Structure 1
Amino acid sequence: MKSPLHEIEFDRILTLVAMEAKSAPGKDAVARRHPLPTLTACENAQADLADMRRFVHTQGLMPLAGLTDVRALLARDSVLELEESWQVFRAVRATQALRETCTRTEGFLRLAAIASAIPELDELVGKLNKFFTREGKLREDASAELRAIRKRVPEKRNAVQRVLHDVMNKHGEAIQEPLIVMRGDRYCIPVRTDHRNAIPGILHERSGSGASVFIEPMQAIELNNDLADLLLQEREEIARILRFISQLIAEAADDIRAAIHVAGELDALQACAIFADTVGASRPSFNNDRRLHLIDARHPLLDERVQETDQPVVPVTVELRAATSALIISGPNAGGKTVALKTTGLLVAMAMSGLPLPAADGSMIPIVDAIHVLVGDDQSVTEHLSTFSAYLVRLKRVISAATERSLVLLDELGAGTDPEEGAALAAAVIEYFLERGALLIVTTHLSSVKSFAMNDSRVVNASMEFDTATGKSTYRLIVGIPGRSRAIEVAQVIGLPSPIIDRARERLGPRYVEVDQLVGMLQNKMSSVVEQSAELERRQAAAEEERQALEASRKKFDSERARVGSAFREELERLRDDVSRQVSNEIKNLRANANMRQVVTTLTKPIDQAIEFLPEERREVRVGHQAEHRKFKVRGVVESIDGTKAVLNVSGKRMTVDRKELLGLRDEGGGMKPSHKSFIPHPPSLIPETAELNLIGQRVDDALEASDKFLDRALLEGKQAVRIIHGFGTGALRKAVREHLRKHPAVKSWRPGNENEGGDGATVAVLEE
């Protein structure tokens, strides 16, 4: 008796998936796949598959070279041959490479969790690696003894060959051919039969023709003995090494089995990922609410991408839920009813087994305890050869085994007997499963069964679409209305004589024909609705795709803008640092020079250059409006503009400056801000409005550096005098500051502070104009 999974060809799907596995353990792991019992287990299996698909897409295939099934070798209680040891070594090495790849590649936590179950066998790999070459041969230095023996073997072999060449040269007339041959691990030479006594030695063999004999000359016997002894020692040492290797493998046999088992599971998971891409699979959701919704489901065995044909499979959409738990599919023979039924069962089994689901996104799978299938004997998906009695025997088994958590698939229920009795039996069976709570899909030709579905809200009718123009089924499933068997139309297309076709229609009667035509009209309208719905979905999908493209473009633009902005900021910061260094150097170079105009010109040159790159609209200044001098960072009111020159009133002082050096100021609304005042305070700067610098508590070097910056800034801002507070203390800081002011080119004179200026604890410096 076939298993239910075999009935829906689940085993054939496993065979297809196993073809993508790269190793025997992987193929075995695929063959072990079966529906899992719980929602959590099913979700985890599909999550593992999703992780593997992402891995294959981004990282490529996993390293599986060398992974073979060596579990039979591990079970042997004997010394492994060299080739067998090499196979085990390669398999162990492959498992460790797989573990390394999965656990160290970031972003694949589920694969890492699976691979971490592979035991660490790096130490074993390191030990075995010392014995093998890349080709799987035993290394010359596998042991010190082997290395010494193999070093002596060619020396002894050359010695034997030299002696034999001397013998052949001396007795050339007796030699059949000047060749050295091996006979029984002994080096010999071919001697003509009629000259066999010319060369004393041991006769090992006669040629097939009898024209020559193979003789080991007396001169070579001792050397051959030495060589044979070395070769014997080599074999013994190799045997000892193989016993040692076998012992290492035997001690780690359990870990090796576990490693190969897990590696096989990963190979199987990768095979599922490859197959998923072949069939365009999606990731389903699972539920315990008996909700089945397959969207655009495709039978993998009919999929043109699997079969490599140009005949596309027609997808079907099937939906069942607790309220409507039965679906009755009707329609013409060879119309696709059985295919739809088996596709449903197969895809539920595949999804629950962690296999790819060849259906559209949004498909939902109920967790069922079993899938019970009744589709006849061995047959294709369109043939029906079983007898009624055999059908009932199998139906009895299904009825006994099904529970409220089962999925039951019954093909051609009620067929094979009297239509009325068959229909009554079919309706009773449907009612039975409805009461049990099982999910049910039935195919039928019986009209009364279709009528039963229309009178029970728990049952939904569906039909396979039929193209009246071609007389063939389109294999599209239309939910909501029953199908017509189309027996007469099919007979007409096949070519039965017209009188038979006409007489068959007459026997049906006008009432049946009228009802049949109405059903046909309903089917056509439903087909139109389905087409419109599909077109709407296509348009929605296209709109969503366009929206996603626009969103991706926006994100790309935002990312690029952020990147450019970041680069621009970095460049500004670099320019600022360069200017700062340049200013510092120029101040040091020019401080001894009393030409303040040259100092100012030199320091503001980078600003002049930067101004050229500012947008033109930011340069606009107007008479009567506020403006800021870019170099001096002072603000005032523009009194007049004459060509490229402008007069700026700053705190009552008029400055004639280049117009391009002024930056028009805007109010909060974005417009230019006029003012009736002659001076607008600048935002807080390093120099307070009191023009004083407090150096108390600073070291002399730091205080003098701060004084330089303070004086430079005061000079640029047009200060006439400044006060530097140094305190009393020991007097060292006061002395240093005043000595520094005496030499400073920007200081015209200095004096101690008066009583309300801090007295001798402060110094007032008058600046050059």
Structure 2
Amino acid sequence: MEAGRIWERGTEWNAVRALLAHEALTEMGRERATDATPLTEPLAVQAAIELTRQARLALATSGSPPLERVPDVRPLLDRCRAAGSVLDGADLIQFIPVIDAAPRLTAYGHATRTASPDVATLTDALPRAPEVGDRLRLALDEAGAVHDDASPALRRLRREIRERRRRVAAGLERLLQTNDADRIFADRYVTIRHGRYVLPVRAEARGRVSGIVHDRSQSGQTLFVEPAEVVEANNDLVQAVREEEHETARILAELTSAVRGRADDLARLVEAIGELDWIFARAAAADRMGATPPALDAGHTVALKNARHPLLLAQHWRDPSRPVVPVDIELSAERPLLVLTGPNAGGKTIALKTAALLALMAQVGCHVPADEGSRLPVFTDLHALVGDEQSVAENLSTFSAFVKQIREVLETAGERSLVLLDELGAGTDPDEGAALAQAILETLAERGALVIATTHLEPLRAFAATHPRARNASVEFDTATLAPTFRLRYGHPGRSYALAIAGRLGLAPELIARAEAHRSKDAARMSELLARLDEHTRCEAERAIAMDRRESETAARLAAAREAETAAERKAQT
């Protein structure tokens, strides 16, 4: 998706991608999640959503795929491709779990083929390099050290080195056992300096030991001397060690060459593992969120039923005492403009972000946290103007920044666009701001874009109530408790309740009364009308609940009477 400008602070898309990445098992899968870019072709989106569905079935029947402890070897592959490069053993052994993952994933796909045929198709196509894995396993131990049996020459050299070390050490030990050893040697041990076996000789006894001084202690009281008796044996040992190092380097070079020869296949395998991990991360996230696969709508309809904001769901996982209130979000080609009104902190922006995030989630192949039957179009671009984007560095006020952003939106928005505008018309004179906002909404509707806008401006409520392609919705507010319920009500413009909330938050009653007196007559009449609508709606809801309760009680009494009548008839027959 050409996502217009998705302001991270506003949409929280990066945070949702991080949430999805948390479900991945490999670095490649996490990278795919954090870099996920929405698809724009309906067939590709549908295929990705279907893969997620099949992965959920595979999780339910066979558990997680065998992806644990599969390392990211892409940097090693890049190094390996360079001509003449040689990887060390610790690097080379990282390819073994990657190579071993292919047959394990293929077996997993085979086990889930009936329920998840498309997943099995992906696992069947995984490149394999068993001969490279076998070769690495035979030559290297678990820490990456080269085995003695990696080659006959290495086995012979290491056996020779062990024998020569034993002989040199034995000869030095004999010198330590002489009668005057305590006067000659600072201590009775054999040590190594610069790769050669030496003895610690007292400085004052240097003339009594013929040989080569390789080092001295910090105090200068001890000299580390290679006695003449073992110089030739040490030379032979050093030569054998060098030959062993050369043979080890040759083996590592051969192993690196073997990996290099299959580098393209290994790169494809790593990419495929990352893709599978990303698919199953989407599936795991969907299971955790109680998500459903959205139906893709070709008719430009958004119908999200009981949609939940994914980050609020994650917050609820951490703290179950914080409930998530679902919202219904509805847009269509006939009425593409939705104007949300109501009090601050009532949930308007959350509803707007929920629409954005669920659209983005669907277009990267995720199932969405909404009820079955939810529908979404496939958008080619999404524009989210959420939050205050004023910039001191660019000398932009809040309103100037908004104009700059909306100009970019109007340059590109079309009939496959979703536009989200938070606090539309704010930051300037309310009358002119409302007029500009109305013109923007009319222009976007003419271009066929779907638009959700939040506002506190009265003229926009009236516009949404009278324009044939617009619709009002409000966040519900409990006037008894002066607290939002976070539910959306369609067809009802909402009051801001600014003065009531200010009073609840501690401003003096006389100040609130003075503020009420300053309000214009039209605004007061509008608020009174909205209050009556709220009260009427609340009373209607209470009456409906009471009626349902009475009907339930009547039905229960009738059922009890019939049961008593049937019991009496049975008793009379006996």
Question: Which of the five TM-score ranges fits, normalised by the shorter chain?
Answer: 0.7 to 0.9
Change (3 A) 1:533 1:284: farther
Distance 1:405 1:354 in 2: 18
Contact 1:278/1:306 (8 A) holds in 2: no
Rounded to whole Å, the distance in 2 between the matches of 1:122 and 1:533 is 70
> In structure 2, which of residues 139, 146, 161 is the aligned counterpart of residue 153 of structure 1?
161
Which of 27, 35, 45 is equivalent to 2:38?
A: 35
Which string of whole-angstrom CA distances, capped at 9 and with x for unpartnered residues, describes residues 563-584 of structure 1? Answer: xxxxxxxxxxxxxxxxxxxxxx
Query: Which residue of structure 1 aligns with residue 270 of structure 2?
Result: 260
Q: Which has the higher contact order (CA 8 A, sep 6+)?
A: 2
Alpha-carbon distance change, 109 to 525 in structure 1, aligned in 2, over 3 angstroms: farther
**Alignment-derived partner of residue 679 in structure 1:** none
Shift of 1:5: 6.1
* Mapped contact 1:74–1:253 kept (Cα < 8 A): yes
Tell me which of 196, 202, 221 is aligned to 1:211. 221
Q: Distance in 2 between matches of 1:137 and 1:525?
A: 80
Q: Is residue 99–residue 116 contact of structure 1 (8 Å, CA) maintained in 2?
A: yes
Question: How far has the Cα of 1:489 moved from its partner?
Answer: 0.7
Contact 2:388 2:398 in 1 (8 A): no
Matching residue of 1:336: 347
- Code of the aligned partner of 2:496: S
The corresponding residue for 2:105 is: 98
Cα separation, 2, equivalents of 1:524 and 1:41: 48
Q: CA deviation at 1:128?
A: 2.3
Distance 1:124 1:272, change over 3 A: same
The 1:217/1:138 distance shift into structure 2, 3 A limit, reads same
Once the two structures are superposed, what CA deviation does each residue of 1:681-712 show, in whole Å capped at 9, x if it has no partner?
xxxxxxxxxxxxxxxxxxxxxxxxxxxxxxxx
1:274 and 1:334 mapped to 2: Cα distance? 31
Secondary structure of 1:301's partner?
Answer: helix
The question of whether the paired residues in 1 share the 8 Å contact of 2:341 and 2:455 is answered with yes
Contact 1:190-1:213 within 8 A present in 2 as well: yes
Which residue matches 1:88?
95
Q: How far is the alpha carbon of 1:120 from its aligned partner?
A: 2.0
1:122-176 Cα distance to aligned partner (Å, 9 max, x none): 2322232221223432222111111111222222111111111111001422221
3-state DSSP class of the match of 2:299? coil
Residue-pair matches, total: 532
Is residue 2:233 matched to residue 1:223? yes
- Residue deviations 1:3-29, cap 9 Å, x none? 326341212211121122222211122
CA contact (8 A) 1:140 1:146 kept: yes
1:306 deviation in Å?
4.8
| Contact 1:298/1:313, CA 8 A, preserved across alignment | yes
| 1:161–1:259 distance in 2 versus 1, CA, 3 Å | same
Q: Does 1:351 align with 2:357?
A: no
Alpha carbons 2:211, 2:227 under 8 Å: kept: yes
Q: 1:535 to 1:476 in 2, by over 3 A?
A: farther
Instruction: Name the aligned partner's letter for residue 162 of structure 2.
Output: P
Structure 2 vs 1, CA of residues 498 and 193 (structure 1 numbering), >3 Å: closer, same or farther?
same
Q: Which moved more, 1:49-58 or 1:142-151?
A: 49-58
**2:518 pairs with 499, 507, 515, which one?**
507
State whether structure 2 residue 477 is matched by structure 1 residue 456: no
Q: SS at the partner of 1:202?
A: strand
Q: Per-residue deviation at 1:116?
A: 2.9
Instruction: Classify 1:121/1:316 alpha carbon distance in 2 versus 1 (closer, same or farther; 3 Å).
Output: same
Cα shift readout 1:727-748 (whole Å, capped 9, x = no counterpart): xxxxxxxxxxxxxxxxxxxxxx
How many Å separate the matches in 2 of 1:321 and 1:275? Answer: 28
| Aligned amino acid, residue 83 of structure 1 | A
**For residues 309-458 of structure 1, what are the structure 2 equivalents within 5 Å?**
310-377=321-388, 387-458=398-469
Match of 2:120, SS state, is: helix
Q: 1:46 is matched with which residue: 44, 49, 54? A: 49
Question: Alpha-carbon deviations, 1:395-439, whole Å to 9, x = none?
Answer: 111111101111111111112222222222222211112211111
Give the 5 Å matches for 1:173-252.
173=182, 174-252=184-262
**Are 2:496 and 1:485 aligned?**
yes
Maintained 8 Å contact 1:103/1:111? no
Quick check: 2:417–2:450 contact (8 Å CA) kept in 1? yes
Q: For 1:205, what is the secondary structure of its paired residue?
A: strand
Distance 1:105 1:80, change over 3 A: same
1:352 and 1:151 map into 2 onto residues whose CA distance is 62
Q: Deviation per CA, 1:609-652, whole angstroms, max 9, x where unpaired?
A: xxxxxxxxxxxxxxxxxxxxxxxxxxxxxxxxxxxxxxxxxxxx
Instruction: Output aligned runs, 1:297-696, within 5 Å.
Output: 297-303=307-313, 304-308=315-319, 310-377=321-388, 387-508=398-519, 512-513=523-524, 515-526=526-537
Distance, in Å, in 2 between the alignment partners of 1:450 and 1:231 is 87
Letter in 2 for 1:267: D
In the other structure, the counterpart of 2:563 is none
Q: CA deviation at 1:450?
A: 0.6
Instruction: Determine if contact 1:300/1:306 at 8 Å carries over to the other structure.
Output: no
CA apart distance, 1:529? 6.6
- State the identity %: 38
In structure 2, the CA distance between the partners of 1:436 and 1:528, relative to structure 1 (3 Å rule), is farther
Shift of 1:307: 4.7
- Equivalent residue number for residue 162 of structure 1: 170
Matched, 1:172 2:181: yes
Equivalents in 1 of 2:384, 2:538: separation in Å? 29
Q: Distance in 2 between matches of 1:101 and 1:532?
A: 57
The answer to whether the 8 A contact 1:66-1:94 is kept is no
2:150 aligned residue: 142
Q: What residue is the counterpart of 2:553 in the other structure?
A: none
Which piece of structure 1 moves more, 126-135 or 94-103? 94-103
Check 1:10–1:530 CA distance in 2 against 1; reply closer, same or farther (3 A cut). farther
Change beyond 3 A, Cα 1:219–1:227: same
Deviation, structure 1 residue 390: 1.5
In the superposition, relative to structure 1, how do residues 529 and 30 fare at CA in structure 2: closer, same or farther (>3 Å)?
farther
Equivalent pair of 1:5/1:11 in contact (CA under 8 Å)? no
- The Cα shift of 1:532 comes to 9.4
| Residue of structure 2 in register with 1:12 after alignment | 15
Which residue identity does 2:5 align to in structure 1? S
Q: 2-side partners of 1:255 and 1:24: how far apart?
A: 19
Paired with 1:429 and 1:438, the residues of 2 have a C-alpha distance of 11
Match of 2:140 among 129, 132, 145: 132
Change (3 A) 1:464 1:199: same
Contact kept in structure 1, 2:90 and 2:143, CA below 8 Å? no
TM-score, normalisation: structure 2: 0.87
The letter of the residue matching 1:443 is: T
Is the CA contact (8 Å cut-off) linking 1:92 and 1:260 kept in structure 2? no
Contact map agreement 2:389 2:398 (CA 8 A) in 1: no
- Distance in 2 separating the partners of 1:429 and 1:533: 40
Does structure 2 retain, via aligned residues, the 8 Å contact 1:21–1:271?
yes
Q: Which residue of 2 aligns with 1:709?
A: none
Cα distance in 2 between the residues matched to 1:132 and 1:534: 74
Measured against aligned partners, the alpha-carbon deviations of 1:306-343 in whole angstroms (never above 9, x if no partner) come to: 55463122221111112222111001122221111111
Please state whether the residue corresponding to 1:214 is helix, strand or coil: strand
Post-superposition offset of 1:198: 2.1
Give the deviation of 1:525 after TM superposition. Answer: 4.6
Query: What is the alpha-carbon distance in structure 2 between the residues aligned to residue 536 and residue 104 of structure 1?
Result: 54
Give the conservation status (yes or no) of the 8 Å contact 1:278–1:305: no
Q: Deviations over 1:377-408 (max 9, x none)?
A: 459xxxxx961122111111111110111111
Q: 1 CA distance for matches of 2:262 and 2:238?
A: 36
Q: Which amino acid aligns with 1:88?
A: F
Given residue 254 of structure 1, which amino acid in structure 2 is its aligned partner? Answer: D
**TM-score, normalised relative to structure 1:** 0.66
The structure whose Rg is larger is 1
Q: Over residues 644-664 of structure 1, what are the superposed CA-to-partner deviations in whole Å (9 max), with x where a residue is unaligned?
A: xxxxxxxxxxxxxxxxxxxxx
The equivalent of 2:282 in structure 1 is: 272
Quick one: which amino acid aligns to residue 108 of structure 2? T
Greater shift in the superposed pair: 244-253 or 420-429: 420-429
Contact 1:335/1:473 (8 A) holds in 2: yes
